[in-house]
Structure 1
Amino acid sequence: MTEYFLNLATKGNHNYLDKSVRERIGYIAGFVGLFVNLLLSILKLITGLIMSSIAVTADAFNNLSDTASSIMTVIGFKLSNAPPDKEHPYGHGRIEYLTALIIAFMVMVVGFQFIKSSVDRIINPKAIEFQIIPFILLVISISLKVWLSFFNRKLGNKISSAALRATATDALGDVIITSVVAFSLLLSLITEYPIDGYVGILVSIFILYSGFSLVKETLSQLIGEAPHEDLIIELTEGVLSYDYILGVHDLIVHNYGPGKVMATIDAEIPSDIDVVTIHNIIDQAERELSEKFNLHLVIHMDPIGFQSKESVDIMNKIKNRIKKDSFIKSMHDFNIIEDNGSKIVVFHVVVDGNKSDKQFSEEEFKIELAELIKEINPNLDSDIIIDMEY
């Protein structure tokens, strides 16, 4: 069934990075979720009312909130794929994240409402009579939700959609919730203890946790997450594969939503190479790598000139110093420039922010390196730039 919907969306075009393919998959996932969740919410609501079970009714409204989530998913995919305009030159991709955030808050509201109803049921207990048909409906619901979780997970991985992957996780949470409700109905066969309200609270806690997890994940994406390590490695190796590029550094990736990523990187090139030749190579690299990784890549050229004996000596002594600290990753853009008769040593030091000690001070580190340079040549000033990487 999943493959059928996938083939329906792709129409033979299995390039999942293609904007139109991605949009169609998002629509199909949303409409399938809408139908399944609406069907389940109606069945559970009828079951809950017949049995007077607050736990089953809470589960029904949880599925109803999932129906609203599916509607928001469809709307989100539609709006996020709107073309760039004057106010939003990089597109509207982050609307998909905002949609997920709205869905998460809707889920949490449902959770809070049913905690209140469950507490009321504990205070005013009501016996639950086990009935085979409602129980079978719950088992069917569990089966459908297992499939829906697999369905959204597969489609979400195909198009790298955080929204669909979150929907898959939410569906898996619903499997747990409904399983607990079904188990409580079975317990009613062997005990008269009014557990319905307590199970309702447990279901509500699952709902709240699901909503909180979605809020946390979505906010992280809106704030700005670090690019995946595989992308960093592959993009770096890709730029280095072109002729005359000696080294790369300062890779920065900007995410404006799924499929709307910009990246900039500095490429070190020989200073004596023909400008037209290296310009054509850089243009080719930007074009080919942008297409390969489905992003917009800009490469900045850093010419590397002739290094005098003095500059090589200073550079080697600085390298020997920074090797003492495991959190120093590298140095780059080393140069000695003249300004109004003064010589200034300019270079960048890359510090691993995940490994550096909490007591690490950029200013103290700069002063130490500046004093080292003064020991080599008292007439040299320094301009040291610290690049923190995480």
Structure 2
Amino acid sequence: MISNFLVKSFIKNSEDINNESVRNRYGYLAGIVGIVLNLLLFIMKFSVGFITSSIAITADAFNNFSDMASSIITIVGFKLASMPPDKEHPFGHGRIEYISALIVAFMVMFVGVSFTKTSIQRILNPEVVVFEFVPFILLIISIAIKLWLSRFNKHIGQKIDSSALKASAADALGDVFTSSCVVLSYLASKYISFPIDGYIGVLVSLAIIYAGFTLVKETISPLLGEAPDPHLVKAINEKLLSYDYISGVHDLIIHNYGVGRRIASVHVEIPATIDIMTIHNIIDNAEYDISKELNIHLVIHMDPICMKDSEIVKTRNELNEILKKHKDIKSMHDFRIIGNDDVKTLVFDVVTSHDKDTSDDEIIKYIKDEVKKIHPHYKCKIIIDKDYH
């Protein structure tokens, strides 16, 4: 309810998320809300920690302070990522958003490490934690605020596909857990004399470190070149195969330069006998339509294949049966026969599994040996292809 009110109040044309300016406004809104709420939580918890002499509550307060700084970095990241392409960066600056999320992750880890040390010192030199009812209620309220903030960031992060906001949502949800532990330790201090505050402080600090480490893993992956979204891969393949004369799709490669800045190249198989202008128009339409619909830049390469020659059809079917028997071979494409009379060569690519148990040389030897059993006079030129998704 509150989320929808904020979106409708501050973002015009909020459903047009493919519009970069609209998407940026979502990021700015999430960042501003995060700054305001985390600043409020920091002031609230720091005051409670100071009044009650609780290191666990103080640690949790500075965790919220780091979250406020994270929201500022998120806003800056969205602003920088929206800069237009230039000569040095022809594909834009979209990956800055991932870098900002990475900075946030390291900040979270730094806070965790700092308060682990402080909490251990509290265990070695315990202090009495004074329980008071009003601070206790304030801590309960802070948990509710963090829970809402997590849901808010998750909602917007999923809507605009933002790794930075998804990371913030996960961090806020982790804060709900750590704050709950702090509340329980604060309540327990009323009934026991054991210095539980320092031990809970260590647990909270370790939870913060773990959250930061998880965020590092999630945000560094797209920077390293992670595999594309399987739903996007499936959508591209299905849409391409829906066009006339396109009978096969392979070598799909997708590069991610930030949300809304994906470039894809793909090979499609077409009949070798089709008129070149006819298929060129079909390919042009496919590039335009799919690029617009899926918000990518698609480039298509045409691979002509012979569909009617009886020798080629028969040999391709025999070869497919051979390849099916090898567990590490996923598919074949670009099959053709070159040469004539008794000097003929089968030329084709095979796609293998990422986690294959056999080497490329062993796979090639297997195929050549099996082909020779059926057609001793055929040679094979085999290219081991990579599956990029």
Global fold match (TM > 0.5): yes
* One-letter code aligned to 1:83: P
- Aligned pairs for 1:171-182 within 5 A: 171-182=172-183
Q: Could you list the per-position Cα deviations for residues 242-298 of structure 1 after superposition, in whole angstroms to 9, with x for gaps in the alignment?
A: 122122111111111111111111111122222222111111111111111111111
CA distance in 1, matches of 2:366, 2:275: 39
Q: Secondary structure at the match of 1:248?
A: strand
- Aligned pairs for 1:150-299 within 5 A: 150-299=151-300
CA distance in 2, matches of 1:233, 1:292: 14
CA distance in 1, matches of 2:237, 2:16: 24
**Aligned partners of 2:371 and 2:378 also within 8 Å:** yes
Matched, 1:362 2:360: yes
Q: Report how far residue 366 of structure 1 moved.
A: 0.4
**Aligned partners of 1:9 and 1:21 also within 8 Å:** no
CA distance in 1, matches of 2:209, 2:280: 55
Q: Could you list the per-position Cα deviations for residues 351-383 of structure 1 after superposition, in whole angstroms to 9, with x for gaps in the alignment?
A: 2325x3x3x111011022123334444443321
* One-letter code aligned to 1:368: Y
* One-letter code aligned to 2:300: I
Distance change >3 Å, CA 375–CA 363, structure 1 → 2: same
**Aligned partners of 2:105 and 2:215 also within 8 Å:** yes
Bigger shift: 77-86 or 306-315? 306-315
Equivalent in the alignment of 1:147:
148
CA distance in 2, matches of 1:377, 1:158: 56
CA distance in 1, matches of 2:230, 2:275: 34
CA distance in 1, matches of 2:310, 2:352: 27
Q: Structure 2, unaligned stretches of length 5 or more?
A: none
CA distance in 1, matches of 2:231, 2:349: 24
CA distance in 1, matches of 2:310, 2:366: 23
Equivalent in the alignment of 2:347:
346
- Aligned pairs for 1:1-390 within 5 A: 1-305=2-306, 308-338=309-339, 343-354=344-355, 356=356, 358=357, 360-389=358-387, 390=389
Identity percentage of aligned residues: 53
CA distance in 2, matches of 1:193, 1:375: 80
CA distance in 2, matches of 1:133, 1:322: 72
Q: Could you list the per-position Cα deviations for residues 41-64 of structure 1 after superposition, in whole angstroms to 9, with x for gaps in the alignment?
A: 111111111111111110010000
Q: Normalization by structure 1: what TM-score?
A: 0.95
Distance change >3 Å, CA 169–CA 289, structure 1 → 2: same
Distance change >3 Å, CA 138–CA 306, structure 1 → 2: closer
**Aligned partners of 2:97 and 2:164 also within 8 Å:** yes
CA RMSD in angstroms, aligned pairs only: 1.7
CA distance in 1, matches of 2:19, 2:344: 52
**Aligned partners of 1:43 and 1:137 also within 8 Å:** yes
CA distance in 2, matches of 1:347, 1:9: 56
Q: What count of residue pairs does the alignment treat as equivalent? A: 386
Q: Report how far residue 307 of structure 1 moved.
A: 5.2
Bigger shift: 270-279 or 99-108? 270-279
**Aligned partners of 1:314 and 1:376 also within 8 Å:** no
Bigger shift: 167-176 or 380-389? 380-389
Q: Secondary structure at the match of 2:386?
A: strand
